[in-house]
Amino acid sequence: MAEKQTEEKKSVLPSKSDFSEWYNELLLAGEIMDVRYPVKGLYVWFPFGFEVRKRTYSLIRELLDKDHKEALFPLLIPETEFMKEAEHIKGFENEVYWVTHGGKNELDVKLALRPTSETAIYPMYKVWVRSHADLPIKIYQIVNTFRYETKHTRPLIRLREITSFKEAHTVHATWDEAAEQVREATRIYQEFYMRLAIPTIVSKRPEWDKFPGADYTMAVDTLMPDNKTLQIGTAHHLGSNFAKTFDIKYEDAKGEQQYAHQTCYGISERSIAALISIHGDDKGLVFPPLVAPVQVVIIPILFGKSEEIITACRQVRDCLTAAGIRTAIDESDERPGAKYYRWEMKGVPLRIEIGPRDLKNNAATVVRRDSGSKESIPLGNIVEEVNKRFRVIHESLYERANSSLKERIFDCESIEEVKDKIQGGIARIAWCGERECGLAMEEAVGAGILGIPEGDMGSGTGNCPVCKKETGNMAIMARTY
Ligand code: A5A
Ligand code: ZN
């Protein structure tokens, strides 16, 4: 009977090959998000999901805190400020929620719920920036933002309330310094995603797809299991566009007034969408040890008299906990199989089983969540053995994700080939870089150009499929979220 119930439970999660169904079910079964909140595009973090968020965001905080300061600006932006930067307005006006009333009174000046915070932060930067000695300024905040998205909303991926918007806003003396900061931002994001074992591609967005008000946009993308790319971070060079509208000036060494140069860069809970989608499997969540809420679960294997085994399990738990390893012990009355199932769903990287035979050998059995592989390890060395496996698990998760990405990048020579290949991932094709050719390519393919990637992936030789000119630039195209 117990066996049968477990079997039935196992069928809750659809196979990952049916990605969309699998993703939706996993959010609930893995207790990440509850999608039943009665407003479209707004979702609820379960405590377990929120813990994943907390651990994930502590990684980005750690990276930023090296030379950024965390601050907090208001959620409400007066219409008068919001309407200052023409390009920015054009980009966001259809996505803004407006607060028009205070109680029954109509407000004199409408207030926007921030869709992003340039227009909340930069009026303050105008006051804060005085001299070149005040620069650079590097501030970030982690907040909720609101976007009235009209495309299909999806938990963690396209939200109307983005709950975990990490946005950094920097101010520099020169355009070149700001450009260096944009490079630094993409390096930080790549490092962040490395720690989540997620492979990324960095590319410069085509000029028609840049952030409203920016000189240019660099984007970080990853490839999801359903062969569509997800933009999981962006860094924008704002030039002095906002500095001019918000009058952000500094006095240079010669005593002359200069407009400042700015950047901003952001990520959201899409990072967690990528984390669970890329590593998860048919049994549920799979977490890299760095972010797993529970890193090790200990399951006592009991036959009859069990005192000794329970004691050994608790000793191991205490030992691992003392070493800073997040450890749980499952002493419930369920059968081991049911326990395995539950902790596998939760993505726990390592399971330790201790039964009579293990104890006799002064050993434990460890099972890796990512590969299912089983080994016997000596109890004497448990902390070291566990930490060693954490490193191996992290590396193999990254390797597996990275080969899966590489296998789904296809070199193409014609539009027809691109159309065919993007069903299976990312198409790489020569592009002269001209706007007209790029737009024609997007139109013909029915999908976007992500950009010309950094590094080797962005260079090669070929002819632009539209104007036929020879070029050394390779662009990547994909179906996107
Ligand atoms: N101020 C800058 C940083 C900005 O707003 N940039 S952005 O519009 O590109 O957003 C930053 C990142 O947030 C995007 O790269 C994307 O990963 C994420 N994002 C944007 N809209 C989102 C939405 N509706 N739901 C979830 N994530 C979103
Ligand atoms: Zn061309």
Residue nearest to atom 17 of ligand 1 (CA): 232
Nearest by Cα to 84 from 76, 75, 93: 93
Nearest by Cα to 169 from 142, 190, 146: 142
Looking at the CA of residue 118, tell me the nearest atom of ligand 1: 1
Nearest by Cα to 474 from 443, 447, 438, 445: 438
Average pLDDT over residues 80-84: 95
Which ligand does the CA of 118 lie closest to? 1
pLDDT digits (tens, 9 = 90+) for 83-107: 999 899 999 999 999 999 999 999 9
Q: CA 389 to CA 191: how far, in whole Å?
A: 21
Which ligand does the CA of 153 lie closest to? 1
**Residue 6: band (very low, low, confident or very high) from pLDDT cuts 50, 70, 90:** very low
**Residue 301: band (very low, low, confident or very high) from pLDDT cuts 50, 70, 90:** very high
Looking at the CA of residue 115, tell me the nearest atom of ligand 1: 5
**Residue 303: band (very low, low, confident or very high) from pLDDT cuts 50, 70, 90:** confident
**Taking all residues of the chain, what is their mean pLDDT, rounded to a whole number?**
96
Q: Where do the H-state alpha helices sit in 355-468?
A: 356-360, 382-407, 415-421, 435-445
pLDDT digits (tens, 9 = 90+) for 183-212: 999 999 999 999 999 999 999 999 999 999
List CB contacts of 471: < 8 A, sequence separation 6 or more.
Answer: 430, 431, 432, 433, 461, 462, 463, 464
Give the pLDDT score at 285. 98
Q: CA 148 to CA 114: how far, in whole Å?
A: 11
Which ligand does the CA of 43 lie closest to? 1
Q: CA 34 to CA 43: how far, in whole Å?
A: 6
CA of 419 to the centre of ligand 1 (A): 27
Looking at domain 296-393, its CATH class is: alpha beta
Q: Which CATH architecture is the domain 19-279 placed in?
A: 2-Layer Sandwich (3.30)
Q: Is the pLDDT of residue 10 over 80?
A: no
Looking at the CA of residue 232, tell me the nearest atom of ligand 1: 17
pLDDT digits (tens, 9 = 90+) for 403-428: 999 999 999 999 999 999 999 999 99
Looking at the CA of residue 231, tell me the nearest atom of ligand 1: 17
Choosing from 193, 231, 271 the residue with most ligand 1 atoms within 8 A of its CB, the one to mutate for a pocket test is: 231
**Residue 144: band (very low, low, confident or very high) from pLDDT cuts 50, 70, 90:** very high
DSSP letter, residue 206 = P
pLDDT digits (tens, 9 = 90+) for 252-262: 999 999 999 99
pTM here is 0.96
Q: Is the pLDDT of residue 4 over 70?
A: no
CA of 463 to the centre of ligand 1 (A): 33
pLDDT digits (tens, 9 = 90+) for 357-399: 999 999 999 999 999 999 999 999 999 999 999 999 999 999 9
Residue nearest to atom 19 of ligand 1 (CA): 268
Tell me: cis bond preceding 453? Omega within 30 of 0 counts.
no
Give the pLDDT score at 3. 45
**Residue 2: band (very low, low, confident or very high) from pLDDT cuts 50, 70, 90:** very low
Q: CA 95 to CA 104: how far, in whole Å?
A: 25
Choosing from 234, 238, 265, 275 the residue with most ligand 1 atoms within 8 A of its CB, the one to mutate for a pocket test is: 234
Which ligand does the CA of 435 lie closest to? 2
Give the pLDDT score at 305. 63
Q: CA 450 to CA 204: how far, in whole Å?
A: 8
Average pLDDT over residues 328-340: 95
CA of 301 to the centre of ligand 2 (A): 66
Looking at the CA of residue 168, tell me the nearest atom of ligand 1: 3
Helix axes 270-279, 47-64, angle to 10 degrees: 110
Residue nearest to atom 15 of ligand 1 (CA): 233
Which helix (H) or strand (E) is 284 found in, with range? none
Give the pLDDT score at 86. 87
CA of 317 to the centre of ligand 1 (A): 41
Looking at the CA of residue 167, tell me the nearest atom of ligand 1: 3
Give the pLDDT score at 5. 47
Q: Are 185 and 136 within 8 A, CB to CB?
A: no
Q: Which fold, 409-478?
A: Translation Initiation Factor IF3 (3.30.110)
Tokens of 228: 């569509």
- Number of helices and strands (H, E) in the chain? 15, 24
CA of 229 to the centre of ligand 2 (A): 24
CA of 465 to the centre of ligand 2 (A): 7
Give the pLDDT score at 7. 47
pLDDT digits (tens, 9 = 90+) for 440-455: 999 999 999 999 999 9
Looking at the CA of residue 233, tell me the nearest atom of ligand 1: 15
Domain assignments of the chain as residue spans, ordered by start: 19-279, 296-393, 409-478
Average pLDDT over residues 269-289: 98
Q: Is the pLDDT of residue 74 over 60?
A: yes
Choosing from 268, 271, 277 the residue with most ligand 1 atoms within 8 A of its CB, the one to mutate for a pocket test is: 268
φ, ψ of residue 70 to 5 degrees: the values are: -90, 140
Residues with beta carbon inside 6 Å of ligand 1?
A: 116, 147, 149, 158-159, 162, 167, 211, 231-234, 236, 264-268, 270
